[in-house]
Amino acid sequence: MSDEYLIGKEMNLVGKDFVPQDVQPKVMGTGKYAEDFKKEGMCYMKMLLCPMPSANVTNLDASEALAMPGVIGILTADDVPPTDEPGYPMLTMKPRQLGMPICAIAAETEAIACEALERINVTYEPQPFVLDPLESLYPGGPNALESGNVTGGGPDNAPIHTAKWDARVFAEAGEDRLPMGDAPVEWSVGDVDAAFEEAALVIDEPFVTASSSHAALEPRSTLAYWENGKCFIHGSSQSQSWMMPGLARMMQVSLDDIVYIAEYCGGGFGAKASPYPIQGMTAYMAQKINRPVMIRVTRAEEYHLGGTRPGFQGQVKLGFDANGKMTAADLYIVQSGGPNRGSGDYSSAAGALALVYTPTHMRFRGAAVVTNKPWHVSQRGPGQNQLATVVEPLMDRAAKELGIDRLAIRDLNSPEADVVFSNRNSTVTSMYLKEAYNLGAEKFNWEEKKALSGQRNGSKVIGIGVGSAYHSAGSNGFDGLISIRPDGKLYVHSGVGNLGTYSYAGTCRAAAEVLGVAWENTVVLRGDSRHGLPWTLAQFGSNSAFTNTRTNFVAAVKMREMLKSLAAQELGGEAGDYEVANEAVTNTSDASLTMSLADAATKAIELGGEWDGHEYPDNLNDVTKSAMQHVQGLGIVAAAKDELFKEGSAAGMAASFCMIELDTDTGKYEILEMNNIADCGTVLHPQGLQQQLRGGAVMGIGEAVLDRMIYDPQNGLCATVGLYQTKPPSILDIPSVIETDAVNQPDPQNPFGVKGIGEPAMGSAAAALLSAISDATGTYFNRTPVDPDMIINALAGRDQSFTPLQVNV
């Protein structure tokens, strides 16, 4: 750990609450989202979406539509760069998903555009389709794409290949077990089979986790136009500078010719991390018709095109010794994807099992199967959170069968800081899950509460639950960029998006902390690439807090050295004779030798070159280099790449406790108490953390018991294209209070001790609620979400309406 790190030192900003700059505009309604922008000459675009799960369009005649007054133009697959499978096309004549865009119409009004779409004469040739991955793996089963049905683990690392399993595998498995054919992806540690032989308890269950929509409140509307050869895009994204290279590639222009504006984002949850086809489609239409083009994406379109969490069908086998130590774990996941390259949820799930429960021996097998359902993409805690909902109730079951306290079995199996896990021998930067359990148990009063488990009051019964989750919550290697200008203020250029977590602002405080600049004299520049925003990772993976306190730290440390050198150059002496404090650079032996930050900025502009950003390190990313043109000459400019030490996963951990009262007559329950405890290193922003832990808990409740996508297997139609159909939790489905806290132990690989938390905060709450439901009902459902109908059937001793591995229900 570097001496310059601030861990253990008194900090003025880190760990303190503040009001991020976007709070007031959000409250007052003055913040401008993509749809709020207008541009002179702007027209509107509407998309023609495929009405079936897979088709070849054999005829597309738009002549009648184009002849309508007010219709400006059409964009077809011929007008945009082609996409090879398993990429997701912008427009296509071979739509492989219900709702995949075929063409788009631009018109003076949306009403005209909509009318015009109905006058396009389209002939569809329906194609075989598949919605259930196991059906695609069955011999002779349909492939969702012409190029194959499985992504990942193929021969020669091909992006997609075809895999069919022997019918015998299916026949032997029957309906109650996952058929387990040859796995495209497989790893193991130790001797799993031998460990099961010796286990005191073996639990072996099939499971399903449903695919669910990201359901962002703001659909992915886009405004695009071209000016002076530059492509301007107003988008809804959770990332900022991460978008730049992808948009440049998509539009086939240089980085310098992309202007990306995304100051606000009404939710992304993983599905707005990177550029998406609608953005390109809008910009290509704007280019073709030479007009600014706005597309306001509808709710139903968002359900088709806004991404869904990959669902799992799986089999998990866990072995325990008599003390409750997990000695063996065997996990097989068949992951459902959309008609495109899948996400890595299944592998992440395996990693989470390996870390959170530290099985002595473990095997993972997985297959990621493409289907003709919507684009599947990472959603908050991709893989880790599904895994938490699968394994945590089974930890309860193991504890009960072995006669061990449910918290004790978790404590016994939870990792220490020196953990080495998975086939990669991965390590962590820090680990305080045990401490999170302890803190949560203390606040929840576990000992007292567990005595209430099963207590009945008429038809009501008490259930007590506990759960945890993990996410690798921090990255490194990105750039920091700050400037001090002649107004004497510190400008922190943030390439972080505004997902809604306020971490774009919290991480900027790192630079002010290092330089001792008051927050009132710190300006956060963000949300518009013309501010000159440095390269950083997408705002996903709970990484921003860890990643960008590092980038701003390195930039601020560099700035400090520049200021000292500049002062020495101007005032005499050596750089080491100076310190940066009280918003000035002052000689530590002679206080009269001092230079204000404003003067330093003016001097830097005079000197130019390396001082004002005209020259910069060559190891910066191209995005940062492109950003420098907006910054150079404005003051003293420090740009630096994060080359600080990092090894292992910056493990963000969360533990949650929950008490419910379940009505055995209705299958409904009230969540009487819930808490959510973070191991997120040093707390960066207490209110922001509280918001993440509570918001995560709400979303976790949705994952556990509400959110899902439903499809009719006969025709591929989707039953869930509205918020009232997918049913994210309402205010009355969550507890009125969700207690939060953090162990607040620093991560040694971050200069401030900070690491992320957003994603595990969801999985922990989901797992705790499922644990409580199982506790109240005595049933382990092995499926999410657990709907009231499942609880009613279980309590009535009835079979469920679906088979154990059935999906899309």
**CB under 8 A: which stretch of 9-17, 71-79, 579-587, 662-670 binds other proteins?**
662-670
Task: Please identify, using beta-carbon distances, which residue of 63 and 715 lies nearer to other proteins.
Answer: 715
Task: Please identify, using beta-carbon distances, which residue of 219 and 339 lies nearer to other proteins.
Answer: 219
In the block, which residue shows the tokens 């700035």? 559
From 162, 323, 582, 730, residue interacting with other proteins (rule: CB under 8 A): 730
What does the buried/exposed string (b/e) look like for 219-246 if buried means 16 or more CB atoms within 10 Å of the residue's CB? bbbbbbbbeeeebbbbbbbbbbbbbbbb
- What is the closest distance, in whole angstroms, from the C-beta atom of residue 72 to other proteins in the complex? 17
CA distance 223 to 221: 7
Residues whose CB falls within 8 Å of the CB of residue 64, separated by 6 or more in sequence, listed in order: 119, 120, 121
Task: Please identify, using beta-carbon distances, which residue of 68 and 809 lies nearer to other proteins.
Answer: 809
Task: Please identify, using beta-carbon distances, which residue of 113 and 754 lies nearer to other proteins.
Answer: 113
Task: Please identify, using beta-carbon distances, which residue of 27 and 732 lies nearer to other proteins.
Answer: 732
- What is the closest distance, in whole angstroms, from the C-beta atom of residue 43 to other proteins in the complex? 15
Binding of residue 49 to other proteins (CB under 8 A): yes
Sheet of 71-75: strand order equals: 71-75, 101-107, 43-49, 293-295, 222-227, 230-234, 258-261
Binding of residue 110 to other proteins (CB under 8 A): yes
From 67, 114, 158, 322, residue interacting with other proteins (rule: CB under 8 A): 114
Binding of residue 115 to other proteins (CB under 8 A): yes
CB 377 within 8 A of CB 345: no
CB atoms within 10 A of CB 655: 33
CA distance 723 to 705: 15
Binding of residue 712 to other proteins (CB under 8 A): yes
Task: Please identify, using beta-carbon distances, which residue of 303 and 444 lies nearer to other proteins.
Answer: 303
What Cα–Cα distance (Å) separates residue 150 from each residue in 143, 167, 509, 583?
Answer: 9, 18, 45, 58
Residues whose CB falls within 8 Å of the CB of residue 338, separated by 6 or more in sequence, listed in order: 88, 97, 308, 370, 371, 373, 374, 375, 376, 377
Binding of residue 665 to other proteins (CB under 8 A): yes
Binding of residue 703 to other proteins (CB under 8 A): no
Q: Phi/psi class of residue 506: alpha, beta or left (left: φ > 0; alpha: ψ in -120 to 50)?
A: alpha
- Choose among 657, 683, 674: nearest CA to 742: 683
Residues 275-334 that bind other proteins (CB under 8 A): 296, 298-301, 304
Binding of residue 792 to other proteins (CB under 8 A): yes
Output the six-digit token pair for 398.
């193991």
Sheet of 522-525: strand order equals: 522-525, 490-493, 479-484, 636-641
From 795, 804, 805, 807, residue interacting with other proteins (rule: CB under 8 A): 795
From 23, 575, 607, 809, residue interacting with other proteins (rule: CB under 8 A): 809
CA distance 621 to 478: 8
**CB under 8 A: which stretch of 184-192, 393-401, 606-614, 713-721 binds other proteins?**
713-721
Within 13 A of 262's CA, how many CA atoms are on the CB side?
Answer: 38
- What is the closest distance, in whole angstroms, from the C-beta atom of residue 168 to other proteins in the complex? 25
Residues whose CB falls within 8 Å of the CB of residue 392, separated by 6 or more in sequence, listed in order: 466, 467, 468, 767, 768, 770, 771
**CB under 8 A: which stretch of 365-373, 517-525, 631-639, 781-789 binds other proteins?**
781-789
Binding of residue 731 to other proteins (CB under 8 A): yes
Torsions phi, psi of 718, nearest 5?
-105, 130
Binding of residue 460 to other proteins (CB under 8 A): no
**CB under 8 A: which stretch of 56-64, 390-398, 507-515, 659-667 binds other proteins?**
659-667
From 137, 506, 787, 805, residue interacting with other proteins (rule: CB under 8 A): 787
Binding of residue 736 to other proteins (CB under 8 A): no
Task: Please identify, using beta-carbon distances, which residue of 169 and 792 lies nearer to other proteins.
Answer: 792
- Choose among 118, 116, 104, 120: nearest CA to 71: 116
The DSSP secondary-structure symbol of 681 reads: B
CA distance 305 to 255: 26
- Choose among 54, 42, 160: nearest CA to 102: 54
Binding of residue 672 to other proteins (CB under 8 A): no
Binding of residue 802 to other proteins (CB under 8 A): yes
Instruction: Return the amino acid letter for 226.
Output: W
Residues whose CB falls within 8 Å of the CB of residue 438, separated by 6 or more in sequence, listed in order: 411
Binding of residue 801 to other proteins (CB under 8 A): yes
Binding of residue 667 to other proteins (CB under 8 A): yes
Binding of residue 706 to other proteins (CB under 8 A): yes
- What is the closest distance, in whole angstroms, from the C-beta atom of residue 193 to other proteins in the complex? 38
CA distance 485 to 577: 23
Output the six-digit token pair for 219.
């659909």
Collapse the DSSP code of 726 into the 3-class scheme (helix H, G, I; strand E, B; otherwise coil) and give the result: helix
From 154, 477, 573, 713, residue interacting with other proteins (rule: CB under 8 A): 713
Binding of residue 142 to other proteins (CB under 8 A): no
From 721, 754, 757, 772, residue interacting with other proteins (rule: CB under 8 A): 721
What Cα–Cα distance (Å) separates residue 540 from each residue in 340, 471, 487, 578?
Answer: 20, 11, 34, 39
**CB under 8 A: which stretch of 324-332, 620-628, 689-697, 712-720 binds other proteins?**
712-720
CA distance 685 to 15: 5
- Choose among 356, 349, 383, 324: nearest CA to 203: 324
Binding of residue 38 to other proteins (CB under 8 A): no
- What is the closest distance, in whole angstroms, from the C-beta atom of residue 719 to other proteins in the complex? 4
From 711, 752, 780, 781, residue interacting with other proteins (rule: CB under 8 A): 711
From 214, 380, 485, 727, residue interacting with other proteins (rule: CB under 8 A): 727
DSSP 480-549: EEEEE-TTS-EEEE------SSSHHHHHHHHHHHHHT--GGGEEEE-SBGGGT------S-TT-HHHHHH
CB 55 within 8 A of CB 125: yes
Binding of residue 459 to other proteins (CB under 8 A): yes
Task: Please identify, using beta-carbon distances, which residue of 438 and 800 lies nearer to other proteins.
Answer: 800
Strand-pairing partners, residue 477, are none
Task: Please identify, using beta-carbon distances, which residue of 445 and 666 lies nearer to other proteins.
Answer: 666
Residues whose CB falls within 8 Å of the CB of residue 232, separated by 6 or more in sequence, listed in order: 224, 225, 226, 259, 261
- Cα dihedral 619, 625, 627, 632 sign: positive
Binding of residue 108 to other proteins (CB under 8 A): no
Binding of residue 111 to other proteins (CB under 8 A): yes
Binding of residue 666 to other proteins (CB under 8 A): yes
Binding of residue 451 to other proteins (CB under 8 A): no
- What is the closest distance, in whole angstroms, from the C-beta atom of residue 709 to other proteins in the complex? 11
Task: Please identify, using beta-carbon distances, which residue of 633 and 713 lies nearer to other proteins.
Answer: 713
In the block, which residue shows the tokens 């310059």? 4
Binding of residue 46 to other proteins (CB under 8 A): yes
Binding of residue 217 to other proteins (CB under 8 A): no
- What is the closest distance, in whole angstroms, from the C-beta atom of residue 278 to other proteins in the complex? 15
Task: Please identify, using beta-carbon distances, which residue of 293 and 533 lies nearer to other proteins.
Answer: 293
Task: Please identify, using beta-carbon distances, which residue of 50 and 512 lies nearer to other proteins.
Answer: 50
Binding of residue 64 to other proteins (CB under 8 A): no
- What is the closest distance, in whole angstroms, from the C-beta atom of residue 41 to other proteins in the complex? 21
Task: Please identify, using beta-carbon distances, which residue of 607 and 719 lies nearer to other proteins.
Answer: 719
- What is the closest distance, in whole angstroms, from the C-beta atom of residue 674 to other proteins in the complex? 15
- Site residues for other proteins per CB under 8 A: 46, 49, 99, 110-111, 114-115, 117-118, 296, 298-301, 304, 459, 664-668, 706, 710-715, 717, 719, 721, 724-725, 727, 729-733, 787-790, 792-793, 795-796, 798, 801-802, 809
